[in-house]
Chains A and B, each alone.
Chain A
């Protein structure tokens, strides 16, 4: 079978393109360590959040050397705690759950974004850089007040974080 040289060329280019797409995604996973939101947490009782040791009192907690965990509850229509205060240059694991309906948790302008499902705990780990302030929006329609549902994520310096008593209000 005769295949024109040009056709061979663009067949080869399309294979190169496919390999490059797979290659860049592989690089992202291996190099910068980009991960997906996994189903790593066991389910909880969405109606019994008040008795849950993590979510009865939404807060930020130090769990290791420069490692923090934030327990966040989404509800109609807001997030607790507000603001979520975390220290700069640290590793922060956000555990987010809902006590009513499905919500979204998107730190606006960043890659931190997950669904929040009642009874499930969405866990995402991010690394903070310099002190700054982010907004958090709900990106799953959750009811009449969906458009006003927002939160705040404040990345503060280590010293300011300690002055706050290592906890967010």
Chain B
């Protein structure tokens, strides 16, 4: 990935059809963050919040 960035650094990025640039590491990180966020939200909302006694209903 670092090599690709170095290649691009000197060229104009106008055409958009430049060489392949696949930041798979970034994609993986975002995927991991996404899964953590979804699991944390499910736990916080459905288990910790709705699972408690005496939910306010009015």
A110 at interface by CB-CB < 8 Å: yes
Contact B27 A111 (CB under 8 A): no
- For A127, give its contact among B30, B50, B57 (CB under 8 Å): B57
Is the pair A10, B27 in contact by a Cβ cutoff of 8 Å?
yes
| Residue of B21, B30, B34, B55 most packed against chain A (CB within 10 A) | B55
Residues of A within 8 Å of B57, CB to CB, are 32-35, 91, 125-127
How many chain A residues sit at the interface, stated as a range, is 20 to 34
Task: Let me know if A13 and B55 touch, CB within 8 A.
Answer: no
- Chain B contact patch, size range: 20 to 34
Contact flag A4-B21 (CB < 8 Å), given A13-B34, A17-B34: yes
A contacts with B: majority SS: mixed
Q: A20 in the interface, Cβ–Cβ < 8 Å?
A: yes
Contact A9 B16 (CB under 8 A): no
Question: Which B residues lie within 8 Å of A63 (CB)?
Answer: none
Residues of B within 8 A of A (CB): 16-17, 21-23, 26-27, 30, 34, 37-38, 41, 45-46, 49-50, 52-58
